[in-house]
């Protein structure tokens, strides 16, 4: 175990969080096994994950029948079902949470994606989710839309844990870190403790390469084609440099002295979509302390089998800066790409939420 690639990855400062959750994993003991045998120290969820779990899983029938008999709406039923799974997962990871002094053992649940551009609605549901799960180690996922930034700041100021999701650009990432720090400063100014509050900033990886590679292919020049497969890792490495700069210096030191924890960067969407790229590319190349990598099953098992471990997050940073600048020289507007990916990400999760409703209704129809 101690010599496995996943154990070595964890020893190099990368928290391994599973990008999946289902009731069958919970009741079968499979989730607990991943803690023991795969060094998994947390879980993230989203509407797509729950839609798949509900459509395929058999462990939901009793609760669905109970909710249907009580006259619950589909949205109310989804709230009850997903918060139960997350609460149960939080209990399974309670030992990891305690042993790591709250550093890990976190389980994330996302606000409804239709609220992505509604600050007030996001805050309201985030508080409801936090109260319903009622576990210290829960994190509420809030998208990093412009409207989401205010919700993030408010949640942190009130002492709630936040997983900021759907980050696609360096400029938005800086705004996310600033919102976290401002929330902590507001909290400290009110006389409330800043210790014990956790947050991660989920930077999406493979989707960046997918879109930028398409545009480079359309250009078709040797200079453009030479940049294929570089954008996502380079941007993540530049994000890590921004993380190191932001969480240092007098402003941060005042919060750290009061017990505040850094908001760790989390690498999301780390399965490779291009079959010509190595299947562990977005793990191997982003290894460094104070980071989280969320892995779906296939990527987790691939890394367990043939992953390589070395600190890579801040190597050749000069090359990353140069290649990132070369994208603009090749007419790639990275800010426009990020805006497109954010809009597509929100739309995709809204579609998955609709599929979650349909899966629930199908499950209920099969029972009643």
Residues 6+ apart with CB under 8 A from 110: 45, 46, 47, 140, 141, 142, 165, 349
Concerning whether 141 is annotated as a catalytic residue, the answer is yes
Q: Give dist(CA 127, CA 172) in Å, integer.
A: 24
Q: Is the dihedral of CA 88, 94, 100, 103 positive or negative?
A: positive
Q: Give dist(CA 189, CA 172) in Å, integer.
A: 25
Give the up-direction half-sphere exposure of residue 19: CA atoms within 13 A in the CB hemisphere.
20
Both tokens assigned to 138: 């829960």
Residues 6+ apart with CB under 8 A from 357: 74, 75, 78
Find, among 305, 261, 268, the residue nearest to 16 by Cα. 268
Q: Give dist(CA 86, CA 44) in Å, integer.
A: 9
Q: Give dist(CA 281, CA 320) in Å, integer.
A: 16
Please tell me which residue in 56, 84, 127, 141 is annotated as part of the active site.
Answer: 141
Tell the residue number behind the tokens 């210096």, with chain if given.
249
Q: Taking a C-beta distance cutoff of 8 angstroms, is the pair 261, 198 a contact?
A: yes
Both tokens assigned to 302: 């691939």
Q: Taking a C-beta distance cutoff of 8 angstroms, is the pair 346, 145 a contact?
A: yes
DSSP per residue over 1-68, as a string?
Answer: -TTSHHHHHHHTTEEEEES---HHHHHHSHHHHHHHHH-EEEE---HHHHHHHHHH-STTHHHHHHHH
Q: Give dist(CA 202, CA 176) in Å, integer.
A: 10
Find, among 365, 297, 322, the residue nearest to 53 by Cα. 297
DSSP letter for 114, please: G
Active-site positions read 141
């Amino acid at each position: 175990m101690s010599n496995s690639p996943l154990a070595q990855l964890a020893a190099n400062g990368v928290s391994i969080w599973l990008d999946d959750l289902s009731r069958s994993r919970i009741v079968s003991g499979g989730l607990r096994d991943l803690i023991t045998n795969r060094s998994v120290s947390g879980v993230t969820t989203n509407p797509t994950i729950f839609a798949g779990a509900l459509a395929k899983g058999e462990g939901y029938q009793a609760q669905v029948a109970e909710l249907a008999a009580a006259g619950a709406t589909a949205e109310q039923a989804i709230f009850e079902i997903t918060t139960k799974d997350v609460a149960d997962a939080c209990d399974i990871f309670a030992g990891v949470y305690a042993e790591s002094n709250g550093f890990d053992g976190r389980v994330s649940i996302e606000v409804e994606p239709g609220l992505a551009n509604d600050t007030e609605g996001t805050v309201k549901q985030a508080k409801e989710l936090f109260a319903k799960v009622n576990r210290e180690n829960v994190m509420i996922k809030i998208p990093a839309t412009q409207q989401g930034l205010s919700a993030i700041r408010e949640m942190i100021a009130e002492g709630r844990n936040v997983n900021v999701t759907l980050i696609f650009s360096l400029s938005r990432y800086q705004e996310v870190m600033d919102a976290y720090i401002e929330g902590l400063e507001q909290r400290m100014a009110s006389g409330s403790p800043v210790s014990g509050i956790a947050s991660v900033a989920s930077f999406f990886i493979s989707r960046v390469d997918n879109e930028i590679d398409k545009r480079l292919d359309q250009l078709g020049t040797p200079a453009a084609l030479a940049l294929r497969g570089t954008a996502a890792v380079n941007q993540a490495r530049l994000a890590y440099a921004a993380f190191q700069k932001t969480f240092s210096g007098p402003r941060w030191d005042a919060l750290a002295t009061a017990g505040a924890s850094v908001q760790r960067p989390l690498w999301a969407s780390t399965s490779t979509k291009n079959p010509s790229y190595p299947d562990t590319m977005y793990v191997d190349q982003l290894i460094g302390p104070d980071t989280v990598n969320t892995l779906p099953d296939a990527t987790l098992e691939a890394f367990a089998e043939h992953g390589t471990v070395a600190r890579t997050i801040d190597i050749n940073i000069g090359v990353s800066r140069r290649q990132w600048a070369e994208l603009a020289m090749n007419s790639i507007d990275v800010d426009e790409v990020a805006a497109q990916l954010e809009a597509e990400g929100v739309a995709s999760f809204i579609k998955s939420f609709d599929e979650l409703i349909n899966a629930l209704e199908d499950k209920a129809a099969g029972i009643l």
